[in-house]
Structure formats: C-alpha cells, structure tokens
Amino acid sequence: MIKVGIAGATGYAGIELIRILLGHPEVKITKLAAKMDGKPQEISDIFPSLKGRINLVCTDLDINDMAKESDLIFLALPHKVSLKFVPQFIKLGKKVIDLSADFRFDDLKIYEEWYAPHTEESKKLNPQAVYGLPELYKEKIKKANLIANPGCYPTGIILGVAPLLVNKIVETENIIANSLSGATGAGRVPSMVAHYPECNENVKAYSIATHRHTPEIEQELSKLAKKEIKISFTPHLLPMNRGILSTIYLNLTKKMKEEEIIKLYQNFYKKEPFVRILEKGTFPETKNVYGSNYCDVGIKVDERTNRAIIVSAIDNLVKGASGQAVQNMNIMYGFKETLGLESPGITP
C-alpha cells in the first residue's frame, strides 16, 4: 500500500485522480491540496459525488506536510506552477508524477519559448524527467522518480502514428493532425472559452498553428522517426464534456493495403493493454472510450492519394491525463499495469 498526495485536487484532473485512486487496491490517498486561500474544505463538499467515499480536507499546499504523509505526489497543477514545487518534493525524496508540461521537453529553450523560463533548480532536474507515455517508454518509467505526464492531444496523436514512423513507411513531411476536444480540456476555472452560451451549439478551431502542444508532439514524433519532424496541428473545441478525436494524415512511401497496416499496428501494440486497434472499416468514437483509459485507433488507406488516414480517440481526462498518470504509477511501483484502470468506457 503506497500513500499518495494530490496537489491540484479541485481541478478536473484532480477529481479524476481521486475517482480512479479510490478504486485502486494498492493506494491510500493521504493528502489533498489546492489553492484554497486559507479556507480548508472537505473534498466531498467541493465534489458531492465523493460523499461517503473520502472524508479528507483539502488545504493550501504545504510541501513538508504533504511529503511527510505521502510516498508519491501527483501534481495536477497549471503549467508553470510545477517548476517551483517539483524540485522541493524530489529533494525530500518523494516520487512525483507531474501532469503539467513543465518537464516534458528535452530542450529547455523550446519549453521556455512556448511556456515560461525554468528556475535554476528545475533546469538541473529536467534531465531526470521521463516522458510518461507507457507504450513507448515503459522501461524508463520503471526506474523514474519524476514522470512528465504527456499532454492530451499529444497522447492521441503520438499513439496514432508511432507504428508508421518507426517502420518508416510514411513521409516525414506534410503530416497534418486535426483534433476535436471536449470543453474540460480548458480546465475548471471559469472562462469565456467554455462559457455555455459561447460553446454550446458551436464548433470552432483555435490556436491554429500556434497551440503549445505542437512542439511536444514534434519532439516525440522526431524521436520515433529519428529525424526532425514538423507538423500542422489544428485543435477544435466541441460542445461536449470529455473526449478527443484526432484525425492524422500521412503520405505513404509505397503502395500498401489497409490490412497490411492494420496488422502492423496490431503487432506494434500487441503487449499494450490500453491501445485497441479497430478492425478494417471501423473507426473510433469518443463515446466508446468515455471514462476509460483506452486509446482506440482506426486506419484507412486512401488509395487515390496514397495516404494513410489514422483516427484515434481518447478520454482527455483519463488516458489524456489522470488515467495515464495512474498507469505510470503502476509501472513505477511494479503493480499490474492495468490495476485500478480496468473499467471500460461508459455507454451511453
């Protein structure tokens, strides 16, 4: 039984971590923290769905107090905030899974260009961070003390195209990815973007060619291809709560049948419990992964243009955030990888 603290417990990723970990047989949640402005509150009063399941009080974050009561810390904090706290927890001998972007980048200059300057302490720590995509970095995750949990859009896109790039059957230029996301991707803090009259009955593209997940996607795709890759990435906001559907277009280097590529994907992910490769002619839907840690992948070959069209679907709060964080925790501690994450998607 490991003791777990969660900082950022009042956000959507925070409540999802609590929900998942309450069903994990090897975990005890011991501390909850968030920006409470000195007004501690029962977490079940903030989220009534938790009544009768957990009676912890959520307080402002006290580093020493949380470290004293926890073996592992989940940081579900806004980007840029973890730069301050991660070094302190690591210095106190704690394992950390950070759900922000703060330690995802190998090149600090790229992170600082898209987010914020690193601190002197976080700069020294950055090389120790392991990018927490289990399907690609499982062996490194096993030995890590600091996990940089991937972004939601990158997770769906990277898993969607990894087999093509590793097997060198697509061109590395002119890769296009379009992703559609539910409103929880904008976080729980009220904003005009997610304001009901603004997003209901509406679909819109945003951050076109400027979304800060772009360099994260490019970093990981470049590693897979063993050469620098640039992509065109456009996210879209849909009037739904959860889910990301990504459609990725890649030019094939030779003529291939769908059956060949599907088989290639099945072999690539045959040991990965949370990636489901769909049969020919079947394509992912966000409803089929809603509330689950699965990534569904469908494949189409456009013979007219000799292009592979890959469609992936994840729940942005689970495989795109908290579920993947728990999957990483399981690997770090030698638990069964699927422990606490076995639930299928919710239908309808």
**pLDDT block averages, 10 residues each, the chain of length 348:** 97 97 98 94 96 96 97 96 96 98 97 95 96 98 98 98 98 97 88 87 95 97 97 97 97 96 98 98 97 98 97 98 98 98 90
Element (H, E) at 42: strand 41-42
163 in the same domain as 116: no
CA 336 to chain centre: 20
Question: What residues make up the domain containing 109?
Answer: 2-128
Strand order in the sheet with 275-277: 204-205, 231-237, 175-181, 244-251, 307-314, 295-302, 275-277
Residue 17 lies in a domain: yes
Query: Do 118 and 224 sit in the same domain of this protein?
Result: no
Question: What are the phi and psi torsion angles at 76 (to 5°)?
Answer: -105, 60
pLDDT for res 229 = 97
Report yes or no on 336 lying in a domain: no
State residue 5's pLDDT score.
Answer: 98
Q: What is the pLDDT, as a whole number, of residue 249?
A: 98
Number of domains in the chain: 2
For residues 315 and 327, give the distance between their C-alpha atoms in angstroms, rounded to a whole number: 14
Instruction: Indicate if 18 and 166 belong to the same structural domain.
Output: no
- Tell me, yes or no, whether 111 and 171 share the same domain: no
Residues written for the chain: 348
Return the CATH number at 237. Answer: 3.30.360.10
With contact defined as beta carbons under 8 Å apart, do 321 and 99 qualify?
Answer: yes
Question: What local confidence, expressed as pLDDT, does residue 178 receive?
Answer: 98
Choose, from 58, 152, 199, 295, the residue flagged as catalytic. Answer: 152
Asked whether residue 310 falls in the same domain as residue 182, the answer is yes
User: Is 135 within the bounds of a domain?
Assistant: no
Whether residue 199 lies in the annotated active site: no
Q: Cα 251 to the chain's mean position, in Å?
A: 26
How high is the pLDDT of residue 192? Answer: 85
Indicate the DSSP class of residue 183. Answer: G
CA angle, 129 then 266 then 277, to 5°: 85
